[in-house]
Amino acid sequence: MRKLRFLFTVITVVAVLGLTSGCRKPKSAGDDALNPDVTGIDDGQIPDATPWGQGGEFDGSPLGSRPDLGTEFVPTDLNIQNVLFGYDSSNVEPSERYKVEIVGDYLVNNPEVSLVVEGHADERGSSDYNLALSERRALAIRDYLVQLGAGAARLTTSPMGEEYPVSFGHDEQSWQVNRRGEFKFYK
């Protein structure tokens, strides 16, 4: 009889725990059923070790004063491409890094050139938030350029939010190319 009583107690405890855990409200996170192309929200993930990634306490280098830009020009023989970003992300993806490295090399070899990194976002979501998101993207690119040896003093950011799309469709094809960082050269 004692064994049975103990068994009943265990079952009760387990049942109660099972029922209460089912009623706990899930933490807010991206609802993939609503938006399948949302990348997983890194709720509770260990911050990225790479300095230019999203997450971690890396503050980024403080922005120096806006450089005296001089005149805008387009470097010839340089393969300049817009850096593309994931939805709601300001991570410079591994597959995109070479685009920043091309510019980094050029800047190291041409110390008289200043650069403005323009950040952009696609049209979805709050326009205020997209302005700051586009700045995060520009800063992520700028931070990587500083890591590559381009002097921080001649690099600045210009966030444009969702205001200047390059593609005007209302679909992922357009949105992907609008989530970008652009390079503007001055000397």
Partner 1 sequence: MNFSSFFFLSVVVLCMGLPARAELTARLTKHGSNKSTLDWSAFRVSGGAAERLFLQTLQNDLKLSGCFINKSASPAEYRIVGSAAANGPRLTVQISAVDQLNSAIYGQAFEHQAQDAQVRDLAHRIADELVEKLAGQKGIAQARIALIGTASNRKELYLAGSDGQGIMQITNDQSLSLSPNWSQDGRSLVYTSYLMGYPDIYRITLNTGKRERISNFPGLNTGGALSPDGQNVALVLSKDGKPELYVKNLPTGRVTRLTKTRSSPKASPSWSPDGNRIVFVSGHEGGPLLYTISRSGGRVTPLRVGGVENVAPNWGPDGRICYASRVGRDQYGIRIYDPAAQGNKVTEVTSGQAGSFEDPSWASNGRHIYCSRKVNYRSSIYLLDTLGDPPIALISSGKGDWYTPKASP
Binding site for partner 1 (CB under 8 A): 4-5, 8, 11-12, 15-16, 19-20, 23, 25, 28-31, 34-35, 41-43, 47, 54-66, 88, 90, 123-133, 135-136, 139, 143, 156-159, 161, 163, 170
Least separation in angstroms between residue 45's CB and partner 1 is 9
Give the residue with the Cβ less far from partner 1, 66 or 187: 66
In 3D, which of 154, 151, 137 has the Cα closest to residue 54?
137
Strands (E), 110-149: 114-119
Least separation in angstroms between residue 65's CB and partner 1 is 6
Give the residue with the Cβ less far from partner 1, 45 or 79: 45
Give the residue with the Cβ less far from partner 1, 79 or 170: 170
Least separation in angstroms between residue 96's CB and partner 1 is 18
In 3D, which of 72, 139, 79 has the Cα closest to residue 103?
79
Give the residue with the Cβ less far from partner 1, 104 or 119: 119
In 10 A of CB 180, how many CB atoms? 23
In 3D, which of 147, 128, 129, 140 has the Cα closest to residue 181?
140
Least separation in angstroms between residue 79's CB and partner 1 is 27
Give the residue with the Cβ less far from partner 1, 7 or 108: 7
27 and 41 Cβ atoms separated by less than 8 Å: no
173 and 167 Cβ atoms separated by less than 8 Å: yes
3-state secondary structure of 118: strand
Least separation in angstroms between residue 50's CB and partner 1 is 13
Radius of gyration of the chain from Cα atoms? Answer: 24
